[in-house]
Amino acid sequence: MGSEKVKVNGKHYFLLVNSNKTVNRWESTNIDSKVSTKQCKNCGCKKSTNSFYINSSSIDGFSNNCRDCDYNYNQIKRKQYHLVNQSK
């Protein structure tokens, strides 16, 4: 395991390189976010990071939408799916 320094658009980034020579931006164990609150992109409310799902591909380690907004979105999608597939 090592690291590699990469310059993109004038900014320097350190990427983790494993023994297979593939580059990983983050590992789930390395997400040690200093963020304690975050603003939901959907509803705009500032909430504790406990109100967000963990997303290792995000820079801060949390999803963009809060759990409540994700839940509501999934409920709407389920209803739409059942309405569309009910007639088949």
Question: pLDDT tens for residues 23-70?
Answer: 555 554 455 557 789 999 999 999 999 999 998 888 888 999 999 999
pTM, two decimal places: 0.56
Q: pLDDT at position 29, please?
A: 46
Contacts of residues 18-23 at CB distance under 8 Å and 24 or more positions apart, as own/partner, are none
Task: Write out the residue range of the structural domain in which residue 67 sits.
Answer: 35-88
3 and 45 both lie in a single domain: no
- 39 and 9 both lie in a single domain: no
Q: Rounded distance, CA 40 to CA 47, Å?
A: 7
How many whole angstroms separate alpha carbon 41 and alpha carbon 66?
8
3-state secondary structure of 8: strand
More confident residue, 58 or 72: 72
Give how many domains the chain has, as a whole number. Answer: 2
Residues 39, 48 contacting (CB under 8 angstroms): no
pLDDT at position 17:
63
Q: How far apart are CA 16 and CA 31, in angstroms?
A: 13
Q: Which residues pair with 66 in a beta bridge?
A: 52
Q: What CATH number is associated with residue 54? A: 3.30.60.130
Same domain? For 43 and 25 the reply is: no
